[in-house]
């Protein structure tokens, strides 16, 4: 049987995350310093001392969560694992840990990704909401009717919808009528994994032209295929694809079971992924890395 390291996406952030590690661990401090240098700004100051509203901006939160997660991994001294996976931006973190993309390039990619996503849908124009208590196919059909998208299939009974605010609000009312236990807006500055992110695709394709992707040293399970992707060109296409298509986390977890994975170690702020895995299967034990 095998273990997998999993890395979180947006929503896991808190002001001050990683600060104690920065002060006490040289490996973690080097990560935050390298990310600051790569972005040519003190993102670490926003992470450690900023306002939550500023940290939550898509351009900041994506490299911030990645930096905190990589800092935790490097501070832990854990070896590179057989398998890695990430939820949304966590895919980039996983690839960084697996040696496929350098830390500096990962930071630059996520800053560019955040900017591209925000440019595609200005602040206030989009909406992302979590839906509890309905089957993913039911939610997907209602989203299609209303012109928004199923952005995350997280676990049985929990999905996320995203798109333009008017479309998501219309879908939310229909979902409540269809029996959703709860529909709750999330604190994101740009809608994620939806058709309205199409303008970000060309922008990110240009950015990727200047980034070297190596074959990962770990088996990287993609949000696109729910399976292992190793070819660098296929990895690039999967990451670009995810801008406009949903995260298939529930299906990925079920495929992990089929791959013989029986333990998941969550690395990064929060413990959201451990909860999602536990609600999807009882065949994978979960552990939150504490450093």
Residues with catalytic function: 88, 193
Strand 182-185 relative to strand 126-132: parallel, antiparallel, unpaired? Answer: antiparallel
- Dihedral sign of CA atoms 53, 57, 60, 65 in order: positive
Spell out where the chain has E strands: 2-7, 83-86, 126-132, 149-155, 158-164, 182-185, 219-221, 228-229, 261-266, 285-288
Say if CB 89 and CB 193 are below 8 A apart: no
Q: Could you tell me how far CA 67 lies from the centroid of its own chain?
A: 13
Q: Are 66 and 91 in contact (CB under 8 A)?
A: no
Tally of CA atoms within 13 A in the half-sphere of 220 that contains its CB = 32
Helix or strand run (H / E) with residue 22: helix 19-24
> Measured between alpha carbons, how far is residue 224 from residues 116, 219, 267 in Å?
20, 15, 21
């Amino acid at each position: 049987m095998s273990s997998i390291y999993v890395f979180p996406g947006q929503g896991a952030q808190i002001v001050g995350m990683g600060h104690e590690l920065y002060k006490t661990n040289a490996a973690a401090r080097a990560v935050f310093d390298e990310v600051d240098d790569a972005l040519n700004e003190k993102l670490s100051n926003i992470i450690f001392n900023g306002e939550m509203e500023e940290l939550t901006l898509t351009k900041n939160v994506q490299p911030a969560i990645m930096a905190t997660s990589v800092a935790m991994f490097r501070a832990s001294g854990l070896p590179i694992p057989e398998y890695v996976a990430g939820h949304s931006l966590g895919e980039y973190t996983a690839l960084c840990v697996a040696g496929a993309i350098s830390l500096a390039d990962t930071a630059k990619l996520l800053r560019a990704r955040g900017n591209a996503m925000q440019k595609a849908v200005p602040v206030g124009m989009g909406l992302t909401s979590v839906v509890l208590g309905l089957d993913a196919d039911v939610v997907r059909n209602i989203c299609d009717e209303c012109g928004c998208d199923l952005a995350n299939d997280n676990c049985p009974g929990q999905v996320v919808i995203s798109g333009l605010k008017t479309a998501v609000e219309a879908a939310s009312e229909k979902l409540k009528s269809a029996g959703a236990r709860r529909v709750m807006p999330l604190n994101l500055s740009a809608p994620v994994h939806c058709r309205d992110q199409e303008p970000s695709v060309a922008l990110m394709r240009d950015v990727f032209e200047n980034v070297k992707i190596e074959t990962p040293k770990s088996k990287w399970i993609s949000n696109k295929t729910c399976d292992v992707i190793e070819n660098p060109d296929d990895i690039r296409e999967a990451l670009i694809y995810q801008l406009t298509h949903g995260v298939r986390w529930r299906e990925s977890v079920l495929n992990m079971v089929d791959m013989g994975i029986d333990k998941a170690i969550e690395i990064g702020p929060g413990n959201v992924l451990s909860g999602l895995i536990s609600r999807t299967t009882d065949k994978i034990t979960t552990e939150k890395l504490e450093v």
